[in-house]
Structure 1
């Protein structure tokens, strides 16, 4: 964006034409709409770039969760069998303890702290935490569709599975999935805010001080 501050434009002080020197932080002005921090970094730039990265992380976690949860929920629609057991186990296990506790525990494990792929591991882990709850919601919706009369009619007429899924399952499921997706995204954003408040971040730098 043209109005965002580039690293070369960061100034810790400004020398005015009258010889006055103004030191950061600078007050809001036409150049710095919300002012700057103590290093001269524009606050608007910080908000936009930080918000963009946060939204990308939230979107990545939610998409990963749905890539796993939606197939699980569809395959567990009969409320019995192997996949139903997986969904029930995930849902019951992570519902006993707050997700924030699990996130803090896993993010402080040595395999996460020292791994070169820390970001990917945390994304996948946070996506799995509430995967059972999302899969249960999908399972319930698909189960209701599966017991409807129009599904029985489509099967009796000999419709192909792809046709049944496209015109019967997906047509009734997609609206609920969109709603559930944004509800999950809001929960993920709340979790990231809680982790940030506790100074737990995805990217960390280890510094050794003798």
Structure 2
């Protein structure tokens, strides 16, 4: 483990990420940076309007409202990580349940997982997301947040389910399991004495490694959605003087900063660059951590 550089590096990156997400919003510098100021009057004279380029006062520049990009990234870290973990967790919970049912003889579920896995292994998730999430029925849905969350999670649930099913079937067909059935051992006894002792040392490490890699995949997907101005946290708000409603974002999560990336890249490149770097940091963190865990478990033949 001492020579496992990837595990230590990924763990350190994750520690920094958790610190920022958990405690970053409590710093006065971060709170002050959210107080936007669209105009600055330099001592040399003149007027400078937002967005402001990187400087001593704005290390990563500002957005169009004059808010410090550092503050926006720190405030959005918690929401971004919660979204990513929520999507990935739903994917694995559903995948494990469907995979377990398929391994016990559920042919319909097994065939469904195969078809689902083949469809989305050949079609990029972002294509499906752009087509589905721009449908008027979904845009104006009352529970849009949960619909989008579950849609992204379920897109690749087939891959998780197939992996779980195959490993369970591999253990199910072992000779000692057949012998246990022959001597009249109950299903609970078989699961307790044979399935769990065999699966836990191999299945859990594999799931943990894949979970880390999937977090990186989900982070990339929601980042891509942000570039196309498709946000998860949106709701209708009344626009003054009243009677009109607009669909606006309600969170500081990082993909929302990429909403105007195609325009900002020509006028204020630091805005999408800061959000892209933050998302890339998450992807690299969990990919490095996943690789470190894979190397660690492989030493024990897992």
Structure 2 length as normaliser, TM-score? 0.58
Task: Choose the corresponding residue for 2:135, options 83, 91, 109.
Answer: 109
Paired with 2:101 and 2:79, the residues of 1 have a C-alpha distance of: 34
Gaps of 5+ in 1: none
Over the aligned positions, Cα root-mean-square deviation in angstroms equals: 3.2
What's 1:28 paired with?
55
Paired with 2:72 and 2:40, the residues of 1 have a C-alpha distance of: 20
Gaps of 5+ in 2: 1-25, 246-302
Structure 1 stretch displaced more, 147-156 or 132-141:
147-156
Higher relative contact order (CA 8 A, sep 6+): 2
Task: Choose the corresponding residue for 1:121, options 138, 147, 151.
Answer: 147
Shift, 1:140, TM fit: 2.0
- Whether 1:172 aligns to 2:202 is yes
What's 1:187 paired with?
217
Paired with 1:197 and 1:8, the residues of 2 have a C-alpha distance of: 22
Task: Choose the corresponding residue for 2:98, options 64, 72, 75.
Answer: 72
Task: Choose the corresponding residue for 1:48, options 65, 71, 74.
Answer: 74
Structure 1 stretch displaced more, 146-155 or 90-99:
146-155
- Is the contact made by 1:151 and 1:168 (CA closer than 8 Å) also made in structure 2? no
Matched positions, count: 207
Structure 1 length as normaliser, TM-score? 0.79
Paired with 1:8 and 1:65, the residues of 2 have a C-alpha distance of: 34
What's 2:229 paired with?
199
